[in-house]
């Protein structure tokens, strides 16, 4: 972990501004940090065909993976809600598979934040070990 929590949150808040969310108006920014300290960011990108919408968390992870990253150590998610917004179920599965049992920092735009471990967000997760 080469960045402070505040730096990771700031990166997620910045990319949140670029969210494409004309249908929900619910903008999400996410940042993932690699073990060697790189940050990849993502925002939600919606489609007129609802099911094609992609969440910010997955955009950030796909960006890292497509750059050849394999080891992620932390995730931050920023949404402008009073009650901190956790990742959706699909994103929990993807974070678990690609990042493992990492800390997930939930934050809003008013300086409120909380860190939750992935194993709390997705207990008894399904992953590749069951496919062997
Ligand atoms: N969304 C995310 O980007 N991440 C989540 O974990 C929850 C939901 C987005 C998808 C959609 O664009 C909007 O929030 C409302 O569901």
Residue-wise pLDDT for 33-60, tens only, equals 999 999 999 999 999 999 999 999 999 9
Provide the CA 88 distance to its chain's centre, in angstroms.
10
Distance 43 CA to ligand 1 centre (A): 9
Does residue 113 carry a pLDDT above 90?
A: yes
Q: Is 60 in the pocket of ligand 1 (CB under 6 A)?
A: no
Does residue 1 carry a pLDDT above 90?
A: no
Q: Is 24 in the pocket of ligand 1 (CB under 6 A)?
A: yes
- Can you read off the two tokens belonging to residue 105? 């920092």
As a whole number of Å, the CA-based R_g of the chain is 14
Q: Are the C-beta atoms of residues 120 and 101 closer than 8 Å to each other?
A: no
Instruction: Find the mean pLDDT for residues 99-123.
Output: 98
- Kindly indicate the confidence band of residue 32, based on its pLDDT and cuts at 50, 70 and 90: very high
Output the pLDDT for position 8: 98
Output the pLDDT for position 87: 98
pTM over 0.85: yes
Index of the ligand 1 atom closest to the CA of residue 43: 3
Distance 10 CA to ligand 1 centre (A): 19
Output the pLDDT for position 39: 98
- Taking each continuous run of H as one helix and of E as one strand, the counts in the chain are 4, 5
- Can you read off the two tokens belonging to residue 57? 């968390």
Q: Is 107 in the pocket of ligand 1 (CB under 6 A)?
A: no
């Amino acid at each position: 972990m080469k960045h402070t929590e505040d730096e990771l949150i700031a990166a997620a808040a910045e990319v949140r501004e670029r969210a494409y969310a004309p249908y929900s108006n619910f903008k999400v920014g996410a940042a993932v940090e690699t073990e060697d300290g790189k940050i990849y960011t993502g925002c939600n990108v919606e489609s007129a065909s609802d099911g094609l919408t992609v969440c910010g968390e997955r955009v950030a992870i796909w960006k890292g993976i497509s750059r050849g990253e394999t080891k992620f150590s932390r995730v931050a998610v920023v949404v402008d809600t009073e009650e901190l917004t956790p990742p959706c179920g699909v994103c929990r599965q993807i974070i678990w598979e690609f990042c493992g049992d990492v800390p997930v920092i939930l934050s809003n735009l008013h300086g409120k934040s909380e860190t939750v471990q992935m194993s709390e967000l997705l207990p008894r997760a399904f992953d590749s070990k069951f496919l062997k």
